[in-house]
Amino acid sequence: MVKYDEEFKMKVVIDYLKGYDGYQYLANKYQIKNKSQVEHWIRTYKEFGESGLRRSQINKSYSVQFKLDAIELYETSGKSYREISNGLGITNYSLLAGWVKKFRENGIQGLSSKKGRPTNMPKKTNKSAAYPANQTDQERIEELEKRVRSLEIQNAYLKELRKLRKMEAQQQMKHLRKSSIASEDKFKLVELLTELEFPKATYMYWQKRFEMDNPKKELEEEITSIFYEHEERYGYRRITNELKTRGRTVNHKKVLRIMKKLGLKVIKFMRKSRKYSSYKGKVGLIAKNRIHRKFYTSIPHQKITTDTTEFKYYEKNNGILTVKKLYLDPYLDMFNSEIISYAISNHPNAKSIEQAQLAAIERTSDCPYRRTFHSDQGWAYQMKNYSKCLKDNKIFQSMSRKGNCLDNSLMENFFGLLKQEMYYGKVFHSFEELKEAIEKWIHYYNHKRIKVKLDGLSPVAYRLKLAA
């Protein structure tokens, strides 16, 4: 790693302050590998002056108490490593990042660990000095009792550490405090702290700390509520957006940490089953592809896409379990991915598709521009009645290329979300049960399920916001 002296750093900083372009320009000019190094020097100079750029010849050491205070400030203030380091006079913010990481992994032991490797050579002990010649038998017995007592304390402590090894740092410390208090009947506190080389001030600090109310309790409860309100479908990104919608701005990394701590994990996504194909070859008119994967539109109801997907449910007839199928024909608005109409049937048929088509045409009749209805080359979309209905309403018909699902990826994405969140991993025992579940989810998708690309709003809320 290249080391730079104080004079060189000052030269770079002065050039920046004179207005000689930005970080990247200076990094290239002075052959510095990374522009972030230049940025770090300038930030350090602004906070600490020339002394901040000077390489210290003596490694400054920080007490465990100081590290704990810094970690507490980081966890509770919401400030960055750099901001807290500058406030505490720590010239290298990566030190604070390292303390936080060690504390989360190993608790206080990670902060007070000794540097360097243990020696391979055992220390020489003066056996003759172990028991002074003038020591009486009674004194030797008392000395041995003290050693046994010390070993008992260390053994009890090691047993507790084995139990706590897999716990998170904060939970570990909380449990450690309880374990220590529970052990005070057997061991005195002064004995425990002496044998473990644990500062009493640190012990008292954590004793008071864990008796305090959890400052994140309200936020944790709200995150948990959102997670289960949406039936375990929301990850940390959507929960962050939902919190923002509710008027609470929280960093997404903080939400992720809390979800990990509480064990909130999305488990809805699993392996997909075989996809239904409605392609039967050329049975009618094949329209040209007018969309060309240009799915975006700023005009509601201008570009509509559709497709058919298959579901399975299981019924018992005379004690025999039979597999039956359900088919969904939705129409999706490319403007906000809203489902504007759909039909559900127990077999693929033209009547069901035309029913959903007519509802979609009526729903989109307010569009000021000529509309385009896109689909794949399924047999139903090649029918004369389907094409004639679009033509009579002055609607362009568009079709994906043969065997290319990417040309209708917006619809495929919707089917993926639908099945992952309400179908896969569940067993339905009747047509009505499965139909009700699909209708309920589509209503949830349109009105409640937020999308990051829609400014953290649901499809309906996004449309209404722009229409207002």
Same domain, 251 and 166: no
Return the ∠ at Cα 299 (arms to 294 and 305), rounded to 5°.
Answer: 50
322 and 449 in a common domain: yes
Write down the pTM of the prediction.
Answer: 0.51
Q: Which of 29-38, 197-206, 243-252 has the highest mean pLDDT?
A: 243-252
In-domain check, residue 133: no
Print the domain residue range for 14: 1-55
Residues 367 and 252 both lie in one domain:
no
- 249 and 311 housed in the same domain: no
- Rounded Cα distance, 402 and 89, in Å: 65
Residue 45 lies in a domain: yes
Tell me, yes or no, whether 317 lies in a domain.
yes
Do 257 and 308 share a domain, yes or no? no
CA dist., res. 423 & res. 411, Å (int): 17
Q: Of 188, 211, 234, which marks where a domain is finished?
A: 211
Average pLDDT over residues 439-461: 93
Mean per-residue pLDDT of the chain: 80
The count of domains in the chain is 4
Q: Report yes or no on 446 lying in a domain.
A: yes
The secondary structure element, H or E, covering residue 326 is strand 320-333
DSSP class per residue in 223-248? HHHHHHHTTT---HHHHHHHHHHTT-
Nearest to 357 by CA among 383, 325, 336: 383
186 and 232 within one domain: no
Query: Which of these ranges, 8-12, 115-119, 411-415, has the smallest mean pLDDT?
Result: 115-119
> Which H or E element spans position 305?
strand 303-306
Q: What's the CA gap between 345 and 363, in Å, rounded? A: 21
User: Which is more confident, 194 or 414?
Assistant: 414
Give 385 or 67, the one with higher predicted confidence: 385
Is 89 inside a domain boundary?
A: no
* Nearest residue to 449 (alpha-carbon basis) of 238, 213, 151, 149: 238
Residue 256 lies in a domain: yes
Same domain membership, residue 428 and residue 361: yes
In terms of domains, do 442 and 391 share one? yes
Residues 346 and 402 in one domain: yes
What is the Cα–Cα distance from 423 to 421, expressed in whole angstroms?
6
Measure Cα distances from 194 to 150, 189, 203, 226, 430 in Å.
9, 8, 12, 47, 69
Distance separating alpha carbons of residues 159 and 386, to the nearest angstrom:
75
Q: CA angle at residue 162 from 101 to 165, to 5 degrees?
A: 20
Strands 338-345 and 309-317: unpaired
Q: Which pLDDT belongs to residue 391?
A: 93
**Does residue 197 lie in a domain region?**
yes
Between 311-320, 410-419, 450-459, the lowest mean confidence (pLDDT) is in 311-320
Of 237, 262, 287, the last residue of a domain is 262
Asked if residue 270 has pLDDT above 60, the reply is no
Answer yes or no: is 129 within a domain: no
Same-domain pairing of 309 and 448? yes
Express as a percent the part of the chain with pLDDT over 70: 76
Sign of CA dihedral 404, 406, 411, 416: positive
Last residue of a domain, one of 55, 72, 99: 55
Of 351, 310, 349, which is closest to residue 327 (Cα–Cα)? 310
Residues 357 and 377 in one domain: yes
Asked if residues 403 and 291 have their Cβ atoms less than 8 Å apart, the reply is no
Question: How far apart (Å, rounded) are the C-alpha atoms in residues 20 and 17?
Answer: 7
Domain of residue 446, CATH code: 3.30.420.10
Q: Counting beta carbons within 10 angstroms of the beta carbon of residue 392, is it exposed (0 to 12), middle (13 to 18) or buried (19 or more)?
A: exposed
Using 50, 70 and 90 to split pLDDT, how confident is the model at 128? very low
Token match 């302050």: residue?
A: 17
Residues 363 and 455 both lie in one domain: yes
CB distance 276 to 405 below 8 Å: no
Name the least confident of 138-147, 191-200, 338-347, 444-453: 191-200
The DSSP code sequence of 115-155 is: PSPPPSSPPP--HHHHS-TT--HHHHHHHHHHHHHHHHHHH
- What angle is formed at CA 344 by the lines to CA 339 and CA 348, rounded to 5 degrees? 115
What would the two tokens of residue 381 be? 């979309």
